Structure 1
């Protein structure tokens, strides 16, 4: 199972993987660990990543970037309109018939419209391909990062993008949580179990957003305490300060209206981003030079850090407010960790020290921390990896309120998940109804939610029927915020109490709780969790706690007294269908987009193969033109070289004319035609290099065998064991191969280099192999072993007395041996040292 974590940023992406050696960030096909979040469309294919970013100027109107800002949003969203106004897009952004967003570009000769979810899925497809090429295995399960401030609808949209891109997202992980996990795993000075938890502030300054989180670390556990974010405060906002300055400067000095030329505006944006990075390391004046910028004019400018900070005063104060807010929420700060691509701005670093009173630490890689944290989370979720035990308690950034129909207005809603409530977590709510009803989930405080609509979704509880006595039925509804941070109604169950008639009923559970009398106007009795015992998924294991008014409490007291006298009841449970009305793509639409993405991937593959075939022809033309003028000049006739050179020139002209856009097979046939003329020349050159070596090897074998025959003729005792028949066999084989060797060598020496050889190097080596296989076994035949003569037994020269003793000893030994054979073998004990 692959273990992959993906940091999908507004401008760049990073891929973290877990391997035996630990967590690492992998590189793409350009050996770069940073993959740009760019998607470019062309007439026949798509470019994604580095190749797409390289086209952001040449293929300006068909290259998408910063599309993450549009995912899960409507066209009339104020944030979307601000995005289009403050950061002009080179591509067309239009509303969809349903009010969503469509990104338009020319593809396959037509103008196509894509949703932000589709473009994000294309980027994820590229990330998946990069990971598979690096890991040499199929990648399906991943953990994907999202900004902490992402709302429910944006998280659902990201999940849809993962499905379209062929990925199974195990968890949508908040950026701040991912950074905290990476820090917690690698940091060695976390408190022991009996020590006080340490609060660490994480400041993540990205390309488009800034997020600040307070995290409490204890032994093997991290708990998110609070998270604050500003979606419109990031590196590109500081870039815009520089862009606006130079736009006004060039208008004054060069009379150029940069905003009227989108290509010039994009080039200026790129140069300002580079200038900002240089000012982070230098306090002196930094020049800005752009050649042929606009109207064939070259422009120059300069900027220093002091002037830049003066221009960015509004943004710096915005960051100060955000940091101060977090400081007030988390008093006891142990350390401050700063990450993010834009965290290198000196003024922001200094502000962190000023407000939190701690020098910002850079334990983690500022750019890759999120991807590494996601990979760690994927490793924790994977059954194939063993990771140091670490518990993660994440939180819900916005409070969620549930509303229901009818009844008294003041009692028709309840905040089920307050701000910074632990997730994932489930709660059970109890309603009394006679008919189907609807629940509506909203964010409690719309002013802190960076989305125009506070509505999360509507949930219809269907097939609710009155109780047997005609009164309202008891309906238990389970609501949950899952590990992705998405709210949903998990289930709805109608319960009905029946008196015990002594007979066994199927599918009925015993419930000793007495149902309270409910009038038709009674709205709902909402039961929350008792936060004493919760399992790992946040499920409530204890009894429910009533949160009704005083009447409900009095009635509950009566119920407690009556419950003792109540007879045993049986409870019949009926699962009720729940219809979700949430802003998410339906399954059939996702299936259609998956098929469309598959078709585009196949088109990309076919186009790549076509381009590779074309490039092969072009490469062969340039290669052979150079060779026939140099290394191959002696191996081709002069008139043939002229004809071949003319054919190469014609092919080159054809490639840049009518052959520029042909089918793959046309290029294959064209290359085959060229090789008919070029391959024989290359073969002659190759044979010229290999044949002398082959003749030399065969000559060595012949010389070795001749020496053997000379030694045999001189009756060398080393070979006197070899039979005459075998020697004759060696002589015969040697004569045949020697004659073949001399004949072919003489014939080949008579030929010129541009003529085809009479014998190939492979034939020479085959002849050598045949000669060796016949002669070497005979030459290397070992002499038979001669056994030494047996020594005669020495006679006993001692006296008769000694002879008798030896005889007696021999008889005794023989008797002992016989007794040993007669007795069964006994088991001996041994001491092992």
Structure 2
């Protein structure tokens, strides 16, 4: 099973994989770790990633980029008005009012919705991962900005399905960064949390988060965001130089889309240079417009002055995150509580941004994380944690809900009925479930929406039609439907289930209430049609003991239909994507076959005048050169756009003429080595025979018949060797050799096999030594026991 994390960015994408006990970033076919978020459409195939960005200047209207900003949005969204003004391609209305693009694909005008465009990029990322891992990639975790709403998250999940991916989780970019930071920290306390602030300034968005880390746990405390990023810094420079070139060169740059793209590219380079150099830097563009070369200058102080509004928005966002953050003990966060500030994102390298962070927090921002790859690495870690095939240490993650969510039950039974019920407040823990009780016996609608002002036009999330089919047709005011609602791992709101409970006279078996394990069980709230006030949340519903006359009976006859936009087209888009993948592969095979013919023509022409010159006769040279010239004319004429089989046939006809020459060259180059190997084998056998004839001990155990057979083989192969050398030395290079290299090597292998069988025979084992004879051992004689004789005293003279 693959464990892949995708960082889907507005400008660039990164792919990380968990393997070999760590997290690695995958490089694409251009050996680059970053893949641009570009999708290009051509007359024959699509260009995805690097190739699409490289062809942008020649394919402006059909190269799509920056589509992360409008996935899941409507064309009528006010945000799209600003986007249309800076995008060179055509924005159109797709199905259900969704944002789409109109491009020229395969010589036809085609419309694609934002889900399809995103799926195309994900398809490219999937292909890059499969080429690196050499396995099929299905399961993955995809990053998503914290501020994405429900519609944007659903659209991204649909894009993953269209690309053939199983998205295990949509992970907030803020949480992914925090996970990649805290997972490898071994000095965290079990009791006192470490508070770390993260500032992620990317190409199109700023996200500021405050996170509490304890041992094997992280909890998101607060997150604030703003749609400001590196592209806004680029736009400030572009607007300045547009006015400057208008005044000095009389060029209306804004009216020329190709010139604007070049200017954006040069301003981005200038911005990066100013991040490291404080001196005045030049910008020079040759043949910019109307065959005019333009130039300009910019200094860091001047740039920061032009971008003062952007810098102020960054400062305000950081201040909001601090002000809204409450610690686990319900204290308001103070700057003394923050132990460190980590910065990530490509645009965080701007010195003015670092100065703002330093001013607010009173400490130097830390750069321990990889600014570009932190999000993808966090997603890969999360994928490994969700995968059953990887053993990862326990690490708890508590994420946040970005916007407050409320629901209403329609239709109202009474005008005085309360219309809105708060379910999930801002910064509420996710994933999380709640159960609401609705006292209805007829079908009704649960409508979810965002409570406060949100940065998009439509506050509605979705409508869920609950179809109630009561078993007992007689109405009872105490009948109720328990509706389980949930914000899942992806941050998507959904109605999980609905169960009808009727009051009856019979005493059924007691039914256990469905629990949402292992996640936190949600609070229960009663939604009574006759009530005009919202119920108090956070009070779990108490189960009453069943009585003999009035008992609660659980009826499994409630169905839920979700009214979600774009869901009905996912399978259709999936089939279209498969067809486009096949078309891309077929066209790539055709181009590869055509390029192979073109490469062979130029390669053979050069070699025929150099390395292969002596190995072809004059007639062979003339015939092959003529065919090479005719093939070259054919490639740029009638053979410009043909099927793959035509190029294969053409290449085979050229091989029939050129391959014999190449073979003669290869034979001549490799022949000395083959002859040297055979001569060495013959010499080795001759030395063995001489040693045997001299009676040396090394070969004394080999039978004479075997050595005679070896001598016979040696004479035969020596004759073949001498004859071959004589023939080849007198042979001109342009003629086919009478003896091929494979024949020489076969003769060598045959002789070596016979020689090894004879010379490698093991010596016979010496007979085992006979056991030594046992010698008779003399037993010690026993001494007679001495009698106790009394000593007589000696007489002294």
2:719 corresponds in structure 1 to 739
1:264 counterpart = 2:259: yes
Deviation at 1:210, TM superposition (A): 1.0
Root-mean-square deviation (Å)? 3.1
State the partner residue of 1:35. Answer: 35
Tell me if the contact between 1:435 and 1:466 (Cα under 8 Å) persists in the aligned partners. Answer: no
Per-residue deviation, residues 180-216 of structure 1 (Å, max 9, x unmatched) = 22222133443x2232x33322211111111112222
Q: 2:634 aligns with which of 651, 654, 657?
A: 654
Q: How does 1:47-58 map to 2 (within 5 A)?
A: 47-58=47-58
Distance 1:761 1:206, change over 3 A: same
Pairing of 1:245-256 with structure 2 (within 5 A): 245-256=240-251
Report 1:234-249 matches (<5 A): 234-249=229-244
Find out whether 1:359 has 2:357 as its counterpart: no
Aligned in 2, Cα 1:139/1:724: closer, same or farther, shift over 3 Å?
Answer: closer
Give, in angstroms, the shift of residue 453 of structure 1.
0.7
Distance 1:256 1:737, change over 3 A: same
Partner of 1:768: 748
Contact 1:143 1:374 in 2 (8 A): yes
Structure 2 equivalent of residue 408 of structure 1: 415
Contact 2:498-2:560 at 8 Å conserved across structures: no
- Which of the numbers 139, 160, 163 marks the counterpart of 1:162? 160
For the residue of structure 2 that corresponds to 1:120, the secondary structure is helix
Cross-structure match for 2:466: 461
3-state SS of 1:694 partner: helix
1:484 to 472, 486, 490: 490
Q: Give yes or no for contact 1:327–1:356 (8 Å, CA) kept in 2.
A: no
Identify the residue that residue 430 of structure 2 maps to in structure 1.
423
Structure 2 residue 206 is matched with structure 1 residue 201 = no
Q: Secondary structure at the match of 1:765?
A: helix
CA distance in structure 2 between the aligned counterparts of 1:742 and 1:78, rounded to whole angstroms: 90
The equivalences for 1:18-97 within 5 A come to 18-85=18-85, 87=86, 89-96=87-94
Aligned 8 A contact 2:526 2:535 in 1:
no
Q: Which residue of 1 aligns with 2:579?
A: 599
Paired residue secondary structure (2:439): strand
Aligned to 2:555: 574
Distance 1:212 1:119 in 2: 28
The Cα of 1:702 is off from its aligned counterpart by: 3.9
- Contact 1:632–1:682 (Cα < 8 Å) also in 2: yes
Determine whether 1:124 maps to 2:122.
yes
Q: How far, CA to CA, are the matches of 1:281 and 1:552 in structure 2?
A: 57
Query: Which position in structure 1 is the counterpart of 2:319?
Result: 324
Cα deviations across residues 377-397 of structure 1 (Å, max 9, x unaligned)? 112211222333221111111
Give the TM-score normalised by the residue count of structure 1.
0.85
Please state how far the C-alpha of 1:133 moved relative to its aligned partner. 1.9
**Aligned to 2:502, which of 480, 496, 499?**
496
Report SS of the residue matched to 1:682.
helix
Contact 1:635–1:755 under 8 Å retained in 2: yes
Checking the alignment, whether the CA contact within 8 Å between 2:201 and 2:229 is kept in structure 1 is: yes
Counterpart for residue 509 of structure 1: 511
Instruction: Tell me the TM-score normalised to structure 2 length.
Output: 0.89
Q: Which runs of 5+ in 1 are unaligned?
A: 512-528, 797-801, 809-833
Question: Equivalent residue of 1:693, what SS?
Answer: helix
Distance in 1, Cα, partners of 2:771 & 2:202: 96
- Kindly tell me: are residues 426 and 543 of structure 1, through their superposed partners in 2, closer, same or farther at Cα, counting changes over 3 Å? closer
Match of 1:450 in 2: 455
Shift of 1:493: 1.2
Please identify, of 594-603 and 313-322, the stretch whose mean Cα deviation from structure 2 is larger.
313-322
**Gap regions ≥5 residues in structure 2:** 326-332, 783-797
Q: Aligned partners of 1:722 and 1:337: how far apart in 2?
A: 79
| CA drift at 1:492 | 1.3
Match of 1:350 in 2: 355
Deviation at 1:131, TM superposition (A): 1.4
CA distance in 1, matches of 2:382, 2:775: 89
**Alignment partner of 1:212 is 2:208:** yes
Q: Does 1:221 pair with 2:226?
A: no
In the TM superposition, residue 70 of structure 1 has moved relative to its aligned partner by 1.7
| CA deviations over 1:738-780 (Å, ceiling 9, x no partner) | 3333333323333211111111122122223333444554455
Residues 701 and 772, structure 1, Cα contact 8 Å, conserved in 2: yes
Structure 2: distance between partners of 1:227 and 1:202: 9
Specify the SS of the correspondent of 2:15: strand
- 1:323-722 to 2 correspondences below 5 Å: 323-330=318-325, 331-333=333-335, 334=338, 335-404=340-409, 405-406=411-412, 407-409=414-416, 411-445=418-452, 447=453, 449-465=454-470, 469-472=474-477, 473-500=479-506, 505=508, 509=511, 536-540=518-522, 567=548, 569-587=550-568, 589-706=569-686
| Cα deviation code 1:772-829 (max 9, x no counterpart) | 4445544555665675997996997xxxxx76x4999xxxxxxxxxxxxxxxxxxxxx
- Map 1:722-733 → 2, pairs under 5 A: 725-733=705-713
Q: Secondary structure at the match of 1:495?
A: strand
Distance 2:470 2:686 in 1: 108
Secondary structure, counterpart of 1:61 in structure 2: coil
Give the whole-Å Cα distance in 2 for the aligned partners of 1:462 and 1:793. 105
